[in-house]
Structures are given as C-alpha cells and as structure tokens.
Chains A and B, each alone.
Chain A
C-alpha cells in the first residue's frame, strides 16, 4: 500500500550520451492502474527499473509514502516486478516458486502455506501447485511470476514490463482480464509497460505516453483520445491516428492548403513552419455538398464504419464516411467538428482563448 512519488527523476546510462529519461515529476497514486505507453527505446523500462530499484537514477529522488528510497536496493523496497519473459525457478514446483520470496524473508512455514494457497486460488493456479514449474505453459509461468509478487503481503506496487509479449494471442485477453481482476481484488498500485495501445488503454486508469525519454502526456484513456496534448499522442493513439496538417493560424482562422477553417478559439501569432492543425478521423466526416472540397483517394470499409482516405490539397488525411452517404465520383466535402480541432506548435498543444 503506497503512493510513489518521483521527484525530479532523470537518468542517463552514459555521461556522454543524452538522457535515457528526461526530468520527470510524477505521483503514482495507491490503488490505481497506470500504463507506460510508447515505442521501443522511449525509456519506459528505464523508468520502471528506477521505480523498482534495479537502476539508481542519475538525478532526483524516489519516495515511497514520503520516505526516500532512492538508494534502497530492490529487495528492500516493497515492489514486485513481472518481466517480459517469464522468470521462474526451474528447480522448484509452482508452489515452491510462490513460496520462495516469503522463505527468503524468513516468514514462518504455516503462514507461507496459507498465503501460497490464497494467491494460487486468486490466480487460478491451485491445480498446478505440485507441478514442476519448468513444464507449465508460458501463460501459467507469467501467472507464477506475478504470484511471486502477490504473495508478499506488504507489496506496495506491481510493475509489469510488457508481460504479454510471449503469450499466445488467444490467451492475451484472458491473462489481461486476470490482471484487471487481481487489481480490483487487491487494491494495489500497478504500473504496466507496453507498446501496445490497446493493452494500455484497456488496462489502465491512467496512461503515461512517452517518447525519446520524455513524458508527453499523463491522462485517462478517454482524455488521450479526446484531447491529445502532443502531436505524437494524437498520432500514436487511435487507429488510424490523428490527422495532422500544416496550417497557418491567425486569430481564429486556420489556413490549410488555401482553405480557411474556422477555429473555436482565438490564437496568438504562431510560428508558421511548425504550426499544425490536428483532428481525429472520427470527428471529420465527408458530406455530399458544401464543406472543404477534398478528393477521395480510397475507401476503407471497416465493417462497423467506413473511412475515406482523402486529399486535402497536398495533405492526405482520413475522414469518416457517414453510413447513408453514397460515394460517386472523386469529389466530396469535408466538415470537422469545431470543438475537436486542435492547434499544435512545435508539436505541443496550444490552447486557444474561448470567446
């Protein structure tokens, strides 16, 4: 049970190279599920290892419930970690694996036995307890590694480092819902590293989106979708990602490829080169008449909805095709929901002044 505070954390593996993790302040609240989302090499695992104590950060402090644990070794922090590849002790049975962390901490035998039985029941491993851990499936092995974290009654947080990588796709869903159930049952802080947005968005209460060692946005899945604060977030989350087109923004009008688009707010003068207008395909739809004239390149029928790949001047964007709209010819109009239009300068969201 704990909240974990990162106070000005930064890390670089090598003094000469740029930071693997740039300065970061964040509070991980007790009982919540977080996901660290980002492409490979963005510093997710580094951040996770700093929290678990496998890495000591070059700068900043890590606080568990207000006490400084920055230089405390992993085994003295109340942290459990599940790795990308299942780590199990080949020499032991499943029960032996689950009992191992308690045995090492000198817990009394009877207590170990009941605790192991409890955790095994929670994870659905009861019938495997006496089996050799080496012979069980990858999915069960991941459950055992998770179980080794859960048996410790004092565990403050469970960290997952892409735990579903080696799991059979058909079983991923099952294991993920198991994790969710465990989270609900135990009221633990969980931090989950992944590069799969579906995993992140379904697992977490809050998602931390990272890129190049920098945290771009921390928000609920819904907010990441509705109001991305960085072009990368807009582009990375959602399928297809946000449409991003170069624009000239003056006051409350954006000029895109010669067309004027009215914005919901007023904007100060912005640099021409890096100013970008962003809107999700879900909020841009084609209309037979009116709107901004676009040329249809291709239609994609996704079953539940239809998407069109259209050309807006030199830009290629995605737009939703209303269910009842017939498509004939190449020409169509585009309308975008005004409150879902965002302006980015240097990739960062610029807030407009609402009238």
Chain B
C-alpha cells in the first residue's frame, strides 16, 4: 500500500515553528544583529562587520582585557566549585544509610537548599556574611579572621564558592545516592569475600558504576557555575574591584550599564559558544572513556 503524502501536514507543525521562532530564533538573531552593527543612538545602525569580535578577542584592547580576565575568573570558579562539590557530594552520599526510616527525612533536609531561588539564596548570604550583624561574618570576625565580603577579594571569592557549594552540592548528593542504590548487593558481598578494603571497593565497584551519574552531575554543575550571576550580583555586586566579576556580571555591566550593545552582543555569542564547546568536550571525553572500557 502506498503511503499518502500530503504537504498540508506541515501546517500542523507550523505553530511549533512559530513558537521556536519567537522564543529562540528571533532574540538570538537580535543579538547577532547587534554584534555586527554599531549605533549612534536614535535607532540608527551601521555595519561594523567583525569589529566587535576582533576587539573582544584581542586582550590588548580594553574590552578584550576585561573579557579575558572575566573568562579566566569564571573558569577558575567553575573548576574550584566542581573540585569541591563532586568529591564532597560523593563523600556525603556514601555516608547516607542505604535503607531505614531515616533516609526519607535526611534526603529532604539535604535537598532543601536546592528549593530556594537564587536571589533568595543571595540575599540570605548577603546578610549572613555581614561582619556586623551576620551570623557567619560576625563569627569569623570574632575568631580574629580578616573577613569582609565588600572589601576583601579573598573573602568575597570564598563566600561565592561557599554559597554555590551550599546551594548545589545537594544535587550531586542526590544523583550519586541514586547511582549507589542501583548497585546490586552481590557486588558488595563479593568484595567482602575478596577481602577488598573500603577504598578498593570504592575505586573498583562504586566509582565505575557511578560514572554515568557523574557525567550528568559534572555537566549540570559546570554549566551552572559557568553561567553564575545572581549570587555574586546580590552578595558582592561583582566586587570588591572586579574580584567576583564573572562573565555574566560583566556582560550585564557592558550591556545595561554602559549600553555598549555591540560589544555585549559579541560577548554573549562568544560566551554561548564557549559554554557549548566545553560541554561538548566534557560529554565526549566522558562517554568515550566509557566506550573504551567496554571494548
């Protein structure tokens, strides 16, 4: 039987196309549009070619230096956050009981920080870390530590890292815990019979079995830390100086603070491309490792 072929069927998917057009394509094209033009106001634009991009990617220009610094800052932040959150999440998940009535309440308590919106988290920590009235800040100051979020770059940096760890390690814990629960008991029993140490059991059984959830955890946490905005915006405002001015913060400063639309648009596109590329690299490396093991 011949399949009926009717081009009118395209009409049925037209609404989706329209939706995608308005939700993704048009705003994106606006950015592309800004990135290749210059404006002197009054809605007059003229062609600038790849000028904005060349400035941006050239560290000897003012905007290029800013971008390079922010990128470096952002990358180090992502690396530090991942290096803390992933091992910490695995460690806590390993300590959780495998069964029993305590596990339900425990998981809820662990998941609580994730349920708080970013700007609320920022506000909580903004107050929490104040040296005069904040519990955390005041306690550190009493201990004789030189802690001041608004004046000390190291304090500000550490605070942002601590916020992210506090906010998002629970995600890693939940993912890893689910992965651990999926390992059959026989593996642990065999390990006991083989007299494997706790560490050997972790390295040879748990870690390989966790690989898949860890790919997801690393990807999610990398993307989010690389796009971090709200917490530094609320807590430090990107300062002191530019110590916590991450890419997104800088981007907003350029776009909305200086109304430097061309630079901002070019920066958004490059930023977007970097995120995409890094995620793709992560994903490829981790799945390739997996495939090579199976071969």
Contacts and interface: CB of A to CB of B under 8 A. Distances in A.
Contact of B200 (A49, A73, A81, A104): A104
Interface stretch (B68-76, B130-138, B147-155, B189-197): B189-197
Interface stretch (B82-90, B105-113, B202-210, B220-228): B202-210
B293 A74 contact: no
A31 to B, nearest CB: 21
Given A90-B293, A104-B200, A135-B294, A81 B193 contact: yes
B209 to A, nearest CB: 8
B184 interface: yes
A247 to B, nearest CB: 46
A273 B192 CA distance: 50
B192 A135 contact: no
Contacts of A49: 189
Residue among A74, A89, A134 with the most chain B CB within 10 A? A89
B186 interface: yes
Contacts of A74: 189, 192-193
A145 B190 contact: yes
Interface string B256-295: 0000000000000000000000000000000000000111
Given A87-B187, A104-B197, A54 B295 contact: no
Interface in A73-100: 73-75, 79-81, 83-85, 87, 89-92, 100
A52 interface: yes
Query: Helix, strand, loop or mixed for chain A's interface?
Result: mixed
Given A104-B196, A104-B197, A84 B186 contact: yes
Given A83-B186, A134-B293, A75 B192 contact: yes
Given A87-B186, A90-B208, A132-B295, A54 B197 contact: no
B190 A75 contact: no
Given A104-B197, A134-B293, A73 B192 contact: yes
Nearest to B190: A87
B190 A92 contact: no
Given A74-B189, A90-B208, A135 B295 contact: yes
A116 to B, nearest CB: 14
Interface residues of A, number: 27
A52 to B, nearest CB: 7
Interface residues of B, number: 21
Given A85-B186, A104-B197, A132-B293, A91 B192 contact: no
Contact of A80 (B193, B203, B208): B193
Quick one: which of B187, B195, B197 has the most chain A CB within 10 A?
Answer: B195
Contacts of A135: 294-295
Contacts of A143: none
A149 B194 CA distance: 8
A81 B194 CA distance: 9
Contacts, number: 63
A54 B192 contact: yes
A148 interface: yes
A105 to B, nearest CB: 6
A145 B194 CA distance: 10
A75 B186 CA distance: 14
A101 interface: yes
Contacts of B209: 90
Contacts of B186: 83-85, 87
Contacts of A73: 192
A85 B184 contact: yes
Given A81-B190, A85-B186, A101 B195 contact: yes
Contact of B204 (A52, A79, A80, A91): A91
B204 A101 contact: no
A130 to B, nearest CB: 13
Contact of A83 (B189, B203, B204): B189
Contacts of B192: 54, 73-75
A89 B295 contact: no
Nearest to A49: B189
Interface string B40-76: 0000000000000000000000000000000000000
B72 to A, nearest CB: 35
A48 to B, nearest CB: 11
A8 B247 CA distance: 71
Contacts of A80: 193
A54 B190 CA distance: 10
Given A74-B192, A90-B209, A100-B194, 14 more contacts: A54-B189, A75-B193, A83-B186, A84-B186, A85-B186, A87-B187, A91-B203, A100-B204, A104-B194, A104-B196, A104-B200, A132-B295, A134-B293, A135-B294
Closest 6 CB pairs of A and B: A75-B195, A83-B186, A87-B190, A101-B194, A104-B195, A89-B204
Interface of B: 184, 186-187, 189-190, 192-197, 200, 203-205, 207-209, 293-295
22 contacts: A52-B193, A74-B192, A83-B186, A83-B190, A87-B187, A87-B189, A87-B190, A90-B208, A100-B194, A100-B196, A100-B200, A100-B204, A101-B193, A101-B194, A101-B195, A104-B195, A104-B196, A104-B197, A104-B200, A135-B294, A145-B190, A149-B193
